């Protein structure tokens, strides 16, 4: 079904295709994940998760909103929030990447059917939204704070980019083109002098500009970014920091407010900085992100410490039991850091992407792809109730994975991320290939001189740290294979083409040589579990310790303990015992039961007394696996003796 005439269009198969930067991303036609941890998730995505989302947008009426709009049944028939359209679009982005990845003809038929329904709802001037502008509905752009019209367009445009760069120009891409032109007309220099309460249009327009080659879309993205932060939106109960309209992007020093909004805005700003070759803006954004990572990020890589406003907390305000850490914020943070990686070539960004993939994104969906975490707490104090499988959860912070949510941004975000995951694995330069994320994969691309280079990766990472790269096709001249050695992987070794393994430092390890087909590079990352302690300024977990194993944050779950996780403390003077054969690795620690008697007043000097029981061994599981065995309590940070 691929229209070969479209394969020459900019950025084929790539979610992002910057025109400059240190590294050039690869497309889904150049990288194929062939199995392993992420291959399993792509398989579940393609066979269940995406279809689950399709079923829900139908049963809950969000796809039907487009029909109701055409048939004159609005406003009464509208279902969902003002941004319900966006989840249909995000689902279609997932479908587009999946169709591009697998050629799934049935899914393509369903994509075209959805396209036809959406096309009918588009106004002659390009405007497209089921919640505004019809008799009885609020006028267009009358509620930029909460209406999400441009936010929804952003997801529509990203879906259009996915479709255009896989299948090619079709009716759906034409819808998107009309919307993008409409936005430039309505919000351009002579248009409405404001922005959307929820950023997302910026990152989408910047990429649409890359795809079309038309600078007017980039100019519009730049305009939205420069307008923001000057109080152009109305004040609201959470304050203007909630939608980043408190401080201009170039003057901000750290991310604040609603985490997903702040991160989508940053992703768009990185794109604009890269396309404009604006080193000053890129430096500002790098500084904002490094401060945000250093002071406002959970061990899992999760972002957002407040349930109120779904927002970042203050510096070091990272309560584990109130962590919001929305799945979408993890995905948005991956969008930002992957862009930074491509722009700078610095592998520390690859480390962050890996942390967020394994410990936020992978934690959200159930194994069967039919229920999800929206928030990702680091400490569940009480066992939750199992949500019914056929009811949308009214609460984002459901204590067990729910099939759908009244605000259901996360499931479709997981779907589009899994479908396009191959794009995060590797990149290319004129004289080399860089591996950033490790999964069994086949990679075939061309170096700067046009010579074909192909390799494949064998690994069962993260169960073990053995990564074997085989060169399948090469040019005669030397080129460089770069391997990311994560910051936690002290003692990693590399063996090249049968030579002895040598120790390599963390960071980017470059192997440059004349390759022959069949050459093998073996990277060995030490996976023995390790203790991790917090910056003492993170008050909420002071005196606690966590366990990590490779890229995985480990968690204690009451199912394995037989009692609440709140009733034990850990002996960090006792060894950690690795069990690599268990799933993706489990670790045993020694814990001591601790009982504290209730007192009428829980504060005293000396502190209320406690009694300790007998030490025993208990296993920790990878955090992403928690809550798969029914209601339980869980914690990542364990109080030390
Ligand atoms: Zn979400």
Q: Scanning the structure block, which residue is given the tokens 């008050």?
A: 539
Centroid of ligand 1 to alpha carbon of 46 (angstroms) = 20
Residue 145 tokens, joined: 């704070």
Instruction: Report pLDDT digits (tens) over 508-525.
Output: 999 999 999 999 999 999
Residue 388 tokens, joined: 């019914």
pLDDT of residue 641: 80
Q: 239 with 289: CB under 8 angstroms?
A: no
**Which burial class, exposed, middle or buried, applies to 162 when counting CB atoms under 10 A from its CB (0-12, 13-18, 19+)?**
buried
Q: What is the arithmetic mean of pLDDT over 36-52?
A: 98
Q: Could you please report the per-residue DSSP string of 564-577?
A: -GGGEEE-TTSPPE
Nearest alpha-carbon partner for 330 in 381, 270, 387, 373: 373
Q: How many CB atoms lie within 10 A of CB 369?
A: 23
H-type helices in 477-619, by residue range? 558-561
Nearest alpha-carbon partner for 111 in 148, 153, 162, 74: 162
Centroid of ligand 1 to alpha carbon of 528 (angstroms) = 33
Centroid of ligand 1 to alpha carbon of 401 (angstroms) = 13
Q: Which helix (H) or strand (E) holds 266?
A: helix 259-275
Nearest alpha-carbon partner for 17 in 277, 210, 221: 210
Q: What is the arithmetic mean of pLDDT over 238-248?
A: 97
| pLDDT band of 3, cuts 50, 70, 90 | very low
Question: What's the rounded Cα separation, in Å, for the pair 222 and 519?
Answer: 46
Average pLDDT, the chain: 96
Question: What's the rounded Cα separation, in Å, for the pair 118 and 130?
Answer: 10
Question: What's the rounded Cα separation, in Å, for the pair 343 and 351?
Answer: 15
pLDDT of residue 2: 34
Nearest alpha-carbon partner for 142 in 196, 180, 100: 196
Centroid of ligand 1 to alpha carbon of 310 (angstroms) = 10
Centroid of ligand 1 to alpha carbon of 412 (angstroms) = 9
Instruction: Report pLDDT digits (tens) over 472-487.
Output: 999 999 999 999 999 9
Question: What's the rounded Cα separation, in Å, for the pair 625 and 592?
Answer: 24
Question: What's the rounded Cα separation, in Å, for the pair 559 and 584?
Answer: 18
Share of the chain above pLDDT 70, in %: 99
Instruction: Report pLDDT digits (tens) over 119-156.
Output: 999 999 999 999 999 999 999 999 999 999 999 999 99
Centroid of ligand 1 to alpha carbon of 408 (angstroms) = 6
Beta bridge mates, 634: 380, 557
Residue 502 tokens, joined: 């040598």
Number of alpha helices (DSSP H) and beta strands (DSSP E) in the chain? 15, 23
Instruction: Report pLDDT digits (tens) over 197-227.
Output: 999 999 999 999 999 999 999 999 999 999 9
Specify the DSSP class assigned to residue 218.
Answer: H
Residue 207 tokens, joined: 């990429």
Local structure of 434: helix, strand or coil: strand
Ion ligand 1, residues whose Cβ is below 5 A away: 326, 328, 409-410
Centroid of ligand 1 to alpha carbon of 197 (angstroms) = 16
pLDDT of residue 581: 79
Specify the DSSP class assigned to residue 7.
Answer: G
The answer to whether the Cα torsion of 109, 115, 117, 120 is positive or negative is: negative
pLDDT of residue 610: 86
Centroid of ligand 1 to alpha carbon of 605 (angstroms) = 44
pLDDT of residue 168: 96
Centroid of ligand 1 to alpha carbon of 373 (angstroms) = 9
Q: What is the arithmetic mean of pLDDT over 60-83?
A: 97
Beta bridge mates, 553: 548
Centroid of ligand 1 to alpha carbon of 328 (angstroms) = 4
CA 238 to chain centre: 25
Q: Scanning the structure block, which residue is given the tokens 């408190």?
A: 246
Centroid of ligand 1 to alpha carbon of 565 (angstroms) = 27
- DSSP3 helix / strand / coil % (the chain, rounded to 5): 35, 20, 45
pLDDT of residue 560: 96
Local structure of 419: helix, strand or coil: helix
Centroid of ligand 1 to alpha carbon of 453 (angstroms) = 38
Residue 106 tokens, joined: 């049935």
Centroid of ligand 1 to alpha carbon of 369 (angstroms) = 16
Residue 147 tokens, joined: 């209406």
Nearest alpha-carbon partner for 484 in 577, 376, 357, 361: 357
Residue 582, preceding peptide bond in cis (omega within 30° of 0): no
Pairing of β 479-485 and β 432-435: parallel
Share of the chain above pLDDT 90, in %: 94
pLDDT of residue 397: 81
Instruction: Report pLDDT digits (tens) over 561-596.
Output: 999 999 999 999 999 999 987 777 899 999 999 999
Centroid of ligand 1 to alpha carbon of 260 (angstroms) = 8
Residue 392 half-sphere exposure toward CB, CA atoms < 13 A: 21
Q: What is the arithmetic mean of pLDDT over 96-120?
A: 98
Question: What's the rounded Cα separation, in Å, for the pair 573 and 528?
Answer: 16
Question: What's the rounded Cα separation, in Å, for the pair 97 and 413?
Answer: 12
Centroid of ligand 1 to alpha carbon of 325 (angstroms) = 10
Q: How many CB atoms lie within 10 A of CB 478?
A: 12
The answer to whether the Cα torsion of 308, 235, 132, 66 is positive or negative is: negative
The answer to whether the Cα torsion of 231, 234, 237, 241 is positive or negative is: negative
pLDDT of residue 1: 35
Q: What is the arithmetic mean of pLDDT over 96-103?
A: 97
Q: What is the arithmetic mean of pLDDT over 49-75?
A: 98
pLDDT of residue 11: 83
Local structure of 389: helix, strand or coil: coil
Alpha-carbon distances, residue 385 vs 111, 176, 365, 598 (angstroms)? 35, 42, 17, 26
Centroid of ligand 1 to alpha carbon of 388 (angstroms) = 20
pLDDT of residue 609: 85
Q: Which helix (H) or strand (E) holds 455?
A: strand 452-459
pTM given for the model: 0.97
Centroid of ligand 1 to alpha carbon of 228 (angstroms) = 22
Instruction: Report pLDDT digits (tens) over 603-630.
Output: 999 988 888 899 999 999 999 999 999 9
Instruction: Compute the residue count for the chain.
Output: 641
Local structure of 509: helix, strand or coil: strand
Centroid of ligand 1 to alpha carbon of 329 (angstroms) = 7
Centroid of ligand 1 to alpha carbon of 307 (angstroms) = 13
Alpha-carbon distances, residue 409 vs 2, 42, 244 (angstroms)? 29, 19, 20
Centroid of ligand 1 to alpha carbon of 447 (angstroms) = 38
Centroid of ligand 1 to alpha carbon of 377 (angstroms) = 14
Question: What's the rounded Cα separation, in Å, for the pair 296 and 285?
Answer: 15
Centroid of ligand 1 to alpha carbon of 571 (angstroms) = 37
Centroid of ligand 1 to alpha carbon of 391 (angstroms) = 18
Centroid of ligand 1 to alpha carbon of 409 (angstroms) = 4
Q: What is the arithmetic mean of pLDDT over 12-17?
A: 94
Centroid of ligand 1 to alpha carbon of 623 (angstroms) = 19
Question: What's the rounded Cα separation, in Å, for the pair 565 and 557?
Answer: 7
Centroid of ligand 1 to alpha carbon of 330 (angstroms) = 9
pLDDT of residue 608: 86
Centroid of ligand 1 to alpha carbon of 370 (angstroms) = 16
Centroid of ligand 1 to alpha carbon of 322 (angstroms) = 16
Centroid of ligand 1 to alpha carbon of 374 (angstroms) = 6
Centroid of ligand 1 to alpha carbon of 283 (angstroms) = 28
Centroid of ligand 1 to alpha carbon of 375 (angstroms) = 8
Instruction: Report pLDDT digits (tens) over 363-415.
Output: 999 999 999 999 999 999 999 999 998 999 988 887 899 999 999 999 999 99
Question: 87 — phi, psi (to 5°)?
Answer: -75, -25
| pLDDT band of 8, cuts 50, 70, 90 | very low
Nearest alpha-carbon partner for 29 in 445, 418, 446: 445
Centroid of ligand 1 to alpha carbon of 357 (angstroms) = 15
Centroid of ligand 1 to alpha carbon of 464 (angstroms) = 31
Centroid of ligand 1 to alpha carbon of 492 (angstroms) = 36
Centroid of ligand 1 to alpha carbon of 402 (angstroms) = 13
pLDDT of 496 over the 90 cut: yes
H-type helices in 22-83, by residue range? 36-44, 50-59, 64-70
Nearest alpha-carbon partner for 326 in 414, 387, 246: 414
| pLDDT band of 52, cuts 50, 70, 90 | very high
CA 428 to chain centre: 22
């Amino acid at each position: 079904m691929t229209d070969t005439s479209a394969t020459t269009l900019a950025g084929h198969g790539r979610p992002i295709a910057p025109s400059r930067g240190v590294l050039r991303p690869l497309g889904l036609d150049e990288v194929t994940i062939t199995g392993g941890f992420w291959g399993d998730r792509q398989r579940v995505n393609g066979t269940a998760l995406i279809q689950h989302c399709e079923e829900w947008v139908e049963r809950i009426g969000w796809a039907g909103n487009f029909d109701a709009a055409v048939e004159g049944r609005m406003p009464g028939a509208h279902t969902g929030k003002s941004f319900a359209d966006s989840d249909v679009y995000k689902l279609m982005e997932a479908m587009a990447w999946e169709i591009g990845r697998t050629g799934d003809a049935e899914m393509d038929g369903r994509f075209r059917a959805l396209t036809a329904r959406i096309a009918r709802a588009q106004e002659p001037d390009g405007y497209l939204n089921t919640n505004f502008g019809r008799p009885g509905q609020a006028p267009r752009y009358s509620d930029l704070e909460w209406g999400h019209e441009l936010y929804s367009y952003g997801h529509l445009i990203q879906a259009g980019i996915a479709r255009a760069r896989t299948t090619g120009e079709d009716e759906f891409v034409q819808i998107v083109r009309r919307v993008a032109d409409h936005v430039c007309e309505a919000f351009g220099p002579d248009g409405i002098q404001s922005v959307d309460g929820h950023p997302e249009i910026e990152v989408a327009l910047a990429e649409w500009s890359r795809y079309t080659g038309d600078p007017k879309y980039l100019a519009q993205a730049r305009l939205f970014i420069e307008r923001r932060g000057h109080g152009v939106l109305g004040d609201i109960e959470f304050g203007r920091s909630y939608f980043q309209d408190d401080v201009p992007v170039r003057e901000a020093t750290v991310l604040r407010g609603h985490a997903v909004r702040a991160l989508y805005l940053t992703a768009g700003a990185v794109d604009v900085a890269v396309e404009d070759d604006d080193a000053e803006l890129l430096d500002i954004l790098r500084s904002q992100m490094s401060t945000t990572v250093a002071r406002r990020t959970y061990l899992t890589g999760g972002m957002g410490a407040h349930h109120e406003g779904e927002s970042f907390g203050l510096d070091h305000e990272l309560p584990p039991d109130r962590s919001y850490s929305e799945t979408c914020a993890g995905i948005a943070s991956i969008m930002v850091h992957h862009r930074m990686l491509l722009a700078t070539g610095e592998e520390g960004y690859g480390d962050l992407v890996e942390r967020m993939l394994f410990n936020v994104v992978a934690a959200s969906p159930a194994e069967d792809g039919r229920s999800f975490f929206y928030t990702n707490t680091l400490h569940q104090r009480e066992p939750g109730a199992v949500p019914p499988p056929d009811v949308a959860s009214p609460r984002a912070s459901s204590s067990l994975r729910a099939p759908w949510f009244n605000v259901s941004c996360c499931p479709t975000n997981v779907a589009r991320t899994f479908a396009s995951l191959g794009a995060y694995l590797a990149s290319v330069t004129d004289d080399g290939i860089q591996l950033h994320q490790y999964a069994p994969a086949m990679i075939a691309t061309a170096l700067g001189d046009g010579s074909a280079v192909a390799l494949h990766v064998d690994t069962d990472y993260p169960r073990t740290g053995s990564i074997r790269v085989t060169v399948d096709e090469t040019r005669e001249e030397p080129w460089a294979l770069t391997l990311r050695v994560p910051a936690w992987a002290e003692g990693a070794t590399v063996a090249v083409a049968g030579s002895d393994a040598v120790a390599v430092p963390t960071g980017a390890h470059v192997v440059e040589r004349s390759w022959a087909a069949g050459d093998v590079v073996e990277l060995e990352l030490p996976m023995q579990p390790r203790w991790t302690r917090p910056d003492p300024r993170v008050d909420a977990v002071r005196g606690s310790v966590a366990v990590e194993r490779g890229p995985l944050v480990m968690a204690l779950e009451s199912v394995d303990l037989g009692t609440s996780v709140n009733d034990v403390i850990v002996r960090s003077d006792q060894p950690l015992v690795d069990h690599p054969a268990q799933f993706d690795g489990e670790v045993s620690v020694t814990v001591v039961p601790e009982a504290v008697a209730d007192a009428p007043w829980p504060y005293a000097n000396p502190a209320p007394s406690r009694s300790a029981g007998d030490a025993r061994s208990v296993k920790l599981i990878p955090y992403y696996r928690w809550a798969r065995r029914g209601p339980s309590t869980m914690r990542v940070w364990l109080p030390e003796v």
